[in-house]
Amino acid sequence: MNKVIQAARGIFLWVDDRLHLTKLYESTAGHHVPQSSGSWFYVFGSATLLCFMVQVATGIMLAMVYVPSAAEAYASLEYLTFHQYLGWFLRAVHYWGSNFMVGIMLLHMTQVFLFGAYKYPREITWITGVFLMVLTLGLAFTGQVMRFDEDAYWGLGIGVAILGRVPFLGEQLVNLMLGGPIIASDTLSRFFALHVFVLPGGVLAIVSLHLRMVLTKGINEYPRPGQLVQRETYDKEYAAILKKEGVPFFPKAISKDLVAASIVLFGILACASFFGPKGPLGPPNPVQIDTLPRPDFFFLWIFAVAALMPDWMESVALLGGPVIIGLFLLALPFFNGTGEKSWRRRPIAVLTVLLTYVALGLLTYLGHTSPWSPEMEAWKSDPTPKEFLAGRSPLELQGSLVIQSMQCRNCHAIDGIGGQRGPDLAAVGARLTKDQLIRQVIQGGGNMPAYGKNLSPDQVEAVVTYMVSLRPPGVTPARDSTLPGRPPLE
Amino acid sequence: MNEEPANPCACKTESKKTSRRDFLLATGFGLNTLAGAMIGIPLLGYVLSSFFKPNPLTKISLGPVENFPEGKTRFASYRNPMPRQWDGQTADIPCWVRRIQGNDFQVFAINCTHLGCPVRWFEESKLFMCPCHGGAFYEDGGHAAGPPPRGLYTYEVKVEQGELFIMGGVLPNLSNQNV
């Protein structure tokens, strides 16, 4: 028995001598980290990397079946989803993996920001992280194009419309993005190359640097309020922390990362199994224009911003916004590189995070509901509730028909039924006088088209008479406030 | 310190050796730079070819003018004039044709001037509406409501021997249309 152990030891020592495994372990997985960094707050970085690995594994599998050709991509997606054994599952894991990756990356960034981990001497760790964020969002956008359906097609159109606003170089940049002057097969091939080779390669390269920085400059110790970072003293303090309470990352500090990793994997698995893959929606047929293009979850907020911004600032914000945010993030460790790290004493940092999350959350919600979009089918399919028809005169009923047939309902709901773009008409008679209504219908304004040319005087009279009758029971019609004491119209 | 000049030969051999190495190093760098450029420049040219290509507007038929009744706006489509065999349906490009009267036509791009979504025509209210952010346009393409910065993009129209032609093949956006 002793001999066997001796022999095994000999073999191990030989392998170790040739491969330097112990040295590799000591300088990587076994490197010392502050015990305080073995915290639940420190699990998001490894979890994001885990998501990336899931994406690489499932992505390679999908690429074995997927055909990146404009003519055949859609059919191959359908084949993957409905015929290929477990194809639906791989598509679902890849789709949900991307959602998890973007979400957890955001959490990681938030934690790093709140814990001051971007401060001296970890500037480059942060900067590489910013580039990883850009690459991850790039992967998310190009991945959305891989699901080559109607949303992908019109999503590319949105990209063109944004890029086309770049001064001087817009046309060239659009051509570069599309691989030609129009969305076609070259576009998909180009996005495939980006999604499968260029961007993941970039992630691998920059993640290596990112992790190298974690090893050389160390993981941020759990910040304590009042413990300030100073360039002159920090390195010594960190060395002292490592000496006093340093533990090897593996196996002493990795336990929570492992638990978090399993939660992420089970999460992806659960979402993939319960909700399945997304789409593909309708085929990428430009002639089929009965479509409601929407971006994937992580870009809905941009979709909402584009709807809500005043048009004069739109080009500036769409093109300048990303540059300003990027520059701010890159510059952050330089103008705020020392001092307090704990979020408990950094109210502006906490407010920034809260504001960002509230804004992103609200914009995503709005992007999801998109109340600014007309309901294209409302005029054909939405009923007029009967209390808005009962007891009306023939002229008023005629008006209600005009409202329906002239597509007014696409933008105007009646009692919540119909489009949300314009105001609900349920009580419009109590808000606007007959004269105001006539003016509004004929001239438009306030984001409503003018109907003067498209309605005959009879139709205007009918519509306005009907709208005056749209009031809650017992409420008199709106009166002109410049005519005091004027009796109600009815 | 004092011994340095005592052995000048060693110094000389050393510097000779180094200079040969230096020469090889410089040659290595030089040759690789040259070869790298000879491979890299065509590579960039390949990738960036679309960047420098001018937009080729092509004369495309939309069919006989009789297909488009006077005073009406009709849906039409054309094939991408520079197709690939593997374009599939993406080579079918839609547009809206408005025949005002006689040979007086307006042909609008399908793409909303805001973010490029496909606008739909509503005959009754004589409006184009966009499903993305609620842009609306009048019958003549003028901006009616919503966030678009301008009216609908139009194609250059020609009528020759009873056939309607447009100059197409380029996805219209703010960079290639007059604002």
Residue A61 one-letter amino acid: M
Chain B residue numbers with beta carbons less than 8 Å from the beta carbon of A447 are 145-146
Pick left, alpha or beta for residue B123 (phi over 0 → left; psi -120 to 50 → alpha; otherwise beta): alpha
CB spacing of B129 vs A410 below 8 angstroms? yes
Estimate the crossing angle of helix A44-63 against helix A255-275, to 10 degrees. Answer: 40
Q: Are residues B86 and B164 both part of a single domain? A: yes
Cβ contact, residue pair A171, B55, below 8 Å? yes
- Are residues A386 and A364 both part of a single domain? no
**Which pLDDT value is given to residue A314?**
86
3-class secondary structure per residue, A412-464: CCECCECCCCCCCCCCHHHHCCHHHHHHHHHHCCCCCCCCCCCCCHHHHHHHH
**With bands split at pLDDT 50, 70 and 90, how would you rate the model's confidence at B177?**
confident
Distances (CA, A) of B160 to A4, A382, B11, B80: 95, 45, 88, 20
- Total structural domains within chain A: 2
Q: Half-sphere exposure of A336 toward its Cβ, with a 13 Å CA cutoff?
A: 17
Q: Is B131 in contact with A306 (Cβ distance < 8 A)? A: no
Asked if A323 and A404 sit in the same domain, the reply is: no
> Contact B127/A449, CB-based, under 8 Å?
yes
Same domain, yes or no: A121 and A205: yes
According to DSSP H, which parts of A115-198 are helical?
A: 123-146, 150-163, 170-178, 185-193
Is B175 part of a structural domain of the chain? no
Check CB contact under 8 Å for B174 and A164. yes
| B43 CB-near residues (< 8 Å, 6+ apart) | none
Taking an 8 Å cut-off on Cβ atoms, the answer to whether B86 and A72 are in contact is yes
Question: Among A226-235, A304-313, A348-357, B132-141, which is the least confidently predicted range?
Answer: A304-313
| Measured distance CA(A65)–CA(A452) in Å, rounded | 56
Residues β-bridged to residue A34: A246
Least confident of A75-79, A86-90, A419-423: A419-423
Residue A296 located in a structural domain: yes
For residues A314 and A401, membership in a common domain is answered with: no
Residue A445's pLDDT band (cuts 50, 70, 90) = confident
B118 — contact with chain A (CB < 8 Å)? Answer: yes
B56, B130, B173: residue with CB nearest A174 = B173
Which residues form the domain of B139?
58-168
Q: How many other β-carbons are positioned within 10 Å of the β-carbon of residue A90?
A: 23
B135 shares a domain with B83: yes
Which tokens belong to B152?
A: 């609908």
Q: Which of B20, B37, B52 is where one domain is finished?
A: B52
CA–CA separation, A39 vs A48, rounded Å? 16
A402-441 pLDDT, tens digit each: 999 999 999 999 999 999 999 999 999 999 999 999 999 9
Closest chain A residue to B122 measured between Cα atoms? A407
Tell me the pairing of strands B163-168 and B58-64.
antiparallel
CA-based nearest residue to A277, from A151, A149, A98, A89 = A89
CA distance B82 to chain A (A): 9
Q: Which of A134-143, A160-169, B22-31 has the lowest mean pLDDT?
A: A160-169
Residues A230 and A304 in one domain: yes
Q: Are residues A310 and A338 in the same domain?
A: yes
Pair (B16, B83) in one structural domain: no
Under the banding of pLDDT at 50, 70 and 90, the label for residue A339 is very high
A140 and A282 fall within a common domain = yes
Does residue B81 sit at the A interface (CB-CB below 8 Å)?
no
Among B47, B115, B128, B153, pick the best mutation site for testing chain A contact (most A Cβ within 10 A). B115
Q: What is the pLDDT of residues B95-118, one digit of tens each?
A: 999 999 999 999 999 999 999 999
Query: What sections of A20-149 are H helices per DSSP?
Result: 21-27, 44-63, 73-82, 87-114, 123-146
DSSP line for A209-258:
HHHHHHHHH-PPP---TT--B-TTTHHHHHHHHHHHHEEEIIIII-HHHH
Lookup: tokens for A447: 């984001």
Number of domains in chain B: 2
Q: Which residues pair with B106 in a beta bridge?
A: B98
Cβ-defined contact of B147 to A407 (cutoff 8 Å):
no
pLDDT for residue B13 is more than 70? no
Q: Within this chain, do residues A121 and A218 fall inside the same structural domain, yes or no?
A: yes
pLDDT of the residue at B98: 96
Please report the pLDDT score of residue B179 as a whole number.
46
For residue B167, the SS3 value is strand
Mean pLDDT to the nearest integer, A366-390? 91
DSSP string over B110-146: SB-TTT-PBPEEETTTTEEE-TTT--EEETTS-EEES
Whether A1 is in a domain gets the answer no
B175 with A291: Cβ contact below 8 A: no
Chain A CB contacts of B55 under 8 Å are 171, 175, 181
Do B47 and B64 share a structural domain?
Answer: no
Taking residues A353-359, report their average pLDDT: 97
- pLDDT, residue A483, reads 74
Please tell me whether residues A405 and A284 are part of one structural domain.
no
Same domain (yes/no): A437, A337? no
Q: What is the per-residue pLDDT for B1? A: 44
Using pLDDT thresholds of 50, 70 and 90, give the confidence band for residue B5.
Answer: low
Closest CA to A295 of A201, A431, A158: A158
Name the strand (E) or helix (H) holding A355: helix A347-369
pTM of the model: 0.91
Q: Nearest C-alpha of chain B: how many angstroms from A147?
A: 14
Same domain, B153 and B95: yes
pLDDT-wise least confident of A124-128, A176-180, B50-54: B50-54
Instruction: Examine the pLDDT at B178 and tell me if it is beyond 80.
Output: no
- Residues of A within 8 A of B89 (CB-CB) are 70-71, 283-287
Quick one: pLDDT band at residue A106, thresholds 50, 70, 90? very high
Beta strands in A264-405 (DSSP E): none
Interface predicted TM-score (ipTM): 0.89
Longest dimension (CA), chain A: 114
Domain presence at residue B177:
no
- List % helix, strand, coil for chain B (3-state, nearest 5): 30, 30, 35
Q: Which of A162, A165, A174, A376 to mutate to test the interface with B (most CBs of B within 10 A)?
A: A174
pLDDT value for B156? 94
The CATH number covering residue A261 comes to 1.20.810.10
Q: Is residue A290 classed as helix, strand or coil in its secondary structure? A: coil
Q: Which residues of B touch A290 (CB under 8 A)?
A: 120
Closest chain B CA to residue A159: B115
* B134 in reach of chain A (CB within 8 A): yes
Nearest to B115 among A161, A180, A379 (CB): A161
What does the mean pLDDT of chain B come to? 88
How high is the pLDDT of residue A463? 94
Measured distance CA(A338)–CA(A325) in Å, rounded: 21
**Which of 15-34 (B) contact A at CB < 8 A?**
none
Per-residue model confidence (pLDDT) at position B14: 56
The yes-or-no verdict on residue B63 having pLDDT over 50 is yes
Give SS3 for A267: helix
Please state the rounded mean pLDDT for residues B33-58. Answer: 90
Q: Identify the domain containing residue A408 by its residue range.
A: 378-468
Q: Binning pLDDT at 50, 70 and 90, where does residue B17 land?
A: low
Question: Is the domain of A414 the same as that of A462?
Answer: yes
Chain A nearest C-alpha distance from B108 (Å): 14
At A7, the pLDDT band (50, 70, 90 cuts) reads very high
Q: Do B129 and A374 touch (CB under 8 A)?
A: yes
Q: Does B100 touch chain A (CB under 8 A)?
A: no
Q: What rounded mean pLDDT belongs to chain A?
A: 93
Q: Which chain A residue shows the shortest CA-CA distance from B88?
A: A71
Domain boundary among A369, A397, A425: A369
For residue B82, the domain's CATH number is 2.102.10.10
Q: How many CB pairs under 8 A join A and B?
A: 211
Q: B160 CA to chain A: closest CA distance, Å?
A: 25
Specify burial of residue A224 (Cβ count, 10 A radius: 0-12, 13-18, 19+): exposed
Instruction: Kindly tell me if the per-residue pLDDT of A484 is higher than 90.
Output: no
pLDDT at A487 over 80: no
What is the pLDDT, as a whole number, of residue B50? Answer: 85
Question: Do the Cβ atoms of A409 and A382 come closer than 8 Å?
Answer: yes
Of the CA atoms within 13 Å of residue A90, those in its CB half-sphere come to 21
Find where tokens 């980006």 sit: A194
